[in-house]
Chains A and B, each alone.
Chain A
Amino acid sequence: MSLVIDSITKRFGPVTALDGASFSVEPGRIFGLLGANGAGKTTCMRIVLDILRADSGTVTWQGTGNLELPRRTWGYLPEERGLYTRMTVIDVLRFFASLYGVPARDATREVEEWLERFRVPDYRDRKIEELSKGNQQKIQFIAAILHDPEVLIMDEPFTGLDPVNVGLLKEAFLEMRDRGKTLIFSTHQMETVEELCESIAILDRGKVVVSGTVRDVKRAMGRQVVRLALDGRGAGEANAASDGAWFTSIPGVRLSRQGEDFSEYAVEAGTDPARILDTALARGARVTRFEIADPSLEEVFIEHVGRRTVAEEDRHLAGSTGAAR
């Protein structure tokens, strides 16, 4: 039994935020909800949490409709974060725990444990407004899990965190999963998804364009990726300098990334990736790296959504301004 989102449609006036979206999340797993800005991720989460009502479609967890489920089933970390800034950490957290029926004593013990885990035990009696944004985010995460929810839903949990805190939060995710919790989060950071998620769904303009385990989603692309380095240099460049695109002799191979360290080739289904190695060796090159892999989620995302992710856009933007100068 799992979390099943079935044909959810939600309109806000003329705007269709979700258009028959369906996917399911296996219990005890970490699930990534991907999509460009405005794809419908937040609306989808709000409908699961019953903050919003769908125009049509159903949400069930372990076979029970979400409208019948107790509120404490869910833990929620909203994208827009906020806490009562003039209250102390312990008071805020005990307040939210009390709304879920957690006794103050249990809440206090749990809070102290989590503050310890996040390496900020002395924040217990500090006012929220005295904390940095990153630390407020940790408090918000604790607020989402204090009542021991079965499903944890987090909207962009990693934005605004420094690498150290991202690491701490990832550890917390894994800890929650090991406790048997189901985690769903949205993000633009594909590396994080690759690292944490067993399964994903990609939303585009309110529709689920692809969903399933990360491996299946990648395999469904029908192609593989070869990473190749010759003489310790980027193979593409090395060869472009001599006699151009030597790999064009192999059908179904396309240079997809050319770097100083290595080059990446997209290999269509039906083509044996080993042919690249054979061809390179036949040309007398010294191969220092050869790797066959599935396409990255970044590629999967771009292929399905047809647009760059935000991270990609930023990089692109930075590159073009650099060129203009």
Chain B
Amino acid sequence: MSGIFPNAWHVARREYLVRVGSRTFVLLTIMLALVGFGLAVAPVVFRALGADKPLEVAVDVEAPDLGSDAIGTLAAALNGAAANTGAPAHFKLSAVEQPAAAEARVRDGQLDGLLTVGRGTGGDLVFSYLTHASPNSPATLAVRQAASALTIDDRLGRAGINPSDRGVIFAPPTFTAASTDPQDDRDEADFATRASLGTVLVVLIFIAILNYGNWIAGSVAEEKSNRVMELLITAATPRQLLVGKVLGTGAAGMTQYAAMLAAGLAGLLLQGAIGRRFFGDAPAAASTSGLDPVLLLVFGACFIGGFLVYSGLYAAAGSLITRTEEVQQMAGPIIAIAMLGYFAAILGGTTAPDAPWIKVLTFVPFFSPYLVPLRMAYGTITPAEVMGALAVLALGVVLTLWLASRIYAAGVLLYGQRPGLRTIWRAARVAR
């Protein structure tokens, strides 16, 4: 039995150089770098495009008995509600003298909405809202919420409660959420940052697995279909070939990711400069509160572990087909597993990061690469669990690569057959 290196290095080196030197790789990397940079400078760009301007809503008060502070009440409710519904930062309200003119301005797009307040036959306020936005857009929902606040205020007034008492009724309660962890001093903003960070990490891992896994399967299938495999398999062991392929492709993938992240980082650093240059002020510094080094380290381990555990499967799949066109078909079951983990993380992990089934899946090698960084970002995983999950993942990587290299050894010599599970099993048993 020969060792894995240095032949795996030679295979990896060739794989990397050919991959990185190809035109598609260069183009894709440039595109991804542009996307990374674009996302990073997006806030500045949005400002340049006026996307963060306040929404201007005209209010036509047709109930003469309504107090003159009705607009003030609406504005307070709107800008208070904005924070909860995720609506744009603030609303600018103005009283309307000529409703027809205001309506025309809404239709022209000069105004974002026209809110008409009248009084119905039952005595309650009646609202109608004219806008381009959809009925369930955050802005419309915020306006609706403000309308109900005004209605309640109005009902209280008609019930004889004086304005100062009404103010007391609407005052927010004193509410403190205490963490069971005395060390935990994160506030709501921290949680929001970390939640979105967790989602981003899961997406990054998912895309890497699907994309670079596909590269591996395609590359193995290509070596088979153009018959280089016969030479390779005499010159090196299946294990050397498999490990080299995975390492080389992985390194190429990392290069691409690094280019994207570097462009993104450059974008973040340039945000201030761009803001000053074009708007004369700097935007708030990008939040990095969720990015603690331990999380990044664990993310790196999960990224590599996840890539390895799936790429073994992809290489085995690639070895079983004869033509590169069959890659997608053969990779189907692997993609299904990857998707399962992804959706478990995105749907289950973000809404119920403490659920027992999420905890169990954290220790399954095909799912832990998603769930460990996600739960860490959410702060719902103990260090012991992280270590345990990573250990199981490492074991999974070794087992998968071992199994994959046996399938690979058998598969690379199967030509023209549509391999069933039995064929694969039989071939893997007798393989070197």
Residues of A within 8 A of B (CB): 13, 46, 49-53, 71, 74, 76, 78, 80-87, 95-96, 98-101, 140, 143-144
Contact = CB atoms under 8 A, between A and B. Distances in A.
A78 B230 contact: yes
B395 interface: no
A84 B228 contact: yes
A100 B227 contact: no
30 contacts: A49-B234, A51-B230, A53-B430, A71-B2, A71-B236, A76-B231, A78-B230, A78-B231, A78-B234, A80-B227, A82-B226, A82-B227, A82-B228, A82-B230, A82-B231, A83-B231, A84-B14, A84-B228, A85-B226, A87-B14, A87-B18, A95-B10, A95-B14, A96-B235, A99-B7, A99-B10, A99-B235, A99-B236, A101-B6, A144-B231
Nearest to B21: A86
Interface in B218-244: 226-236
Q: Which 9 A-B pairs have the closest CB atoms?
A: A82-B227, A78-B230, A99-B235, A80-B227, A82-B226, A98-B10, A76-B234, A82-B228, A99-B236
Interface of B: 2, 6-7, 10-11, 14, 18, 22, 226-236, 413, 426, 430-432
A53 B432 CA distance: 7
A50 B234 CA distance: 8
Contacts of B233: 51
Consensus secondary structure, chain A interface: loop
Contacts of A87: 14, 18
A143 B231 contact: yes
Contacts of A76: 230-231, 234
Nearest to B224: A82
Nearest to A82: B227
Contacts of A50: 432
B15 to A, nearest CB: 10
B432 A100 contact: no
B222 to A, nearest CB: 9
Contacts of A86: 18, 22
Contacts of A52: 413
A80 B233 CA distance: 13
A13 B233 CA distance: 22
B227 to A, nearest CB: 3
B234 A51 contact: yes
A95 B6 CA distance: 12
A119 to B, nearest CB: 23
Contacts of A74: 234
Contacts of B2: 71
Contacts of A98: 10
B235 A71 contact: yes
Given A71-B235, A81-B227, A82-B227, 20 more contacts: A49-B234, A51-B230, A51-B233, A52-B413, A53-B432, A71-B234, A74-B234, A76-B231, A78-B230, A78-B234, A84-B14, A84-B18, A84-B226, A84-B228, A87-B14, A96-B231, A98-B10, A99-B7, A99-B10, A100-B235
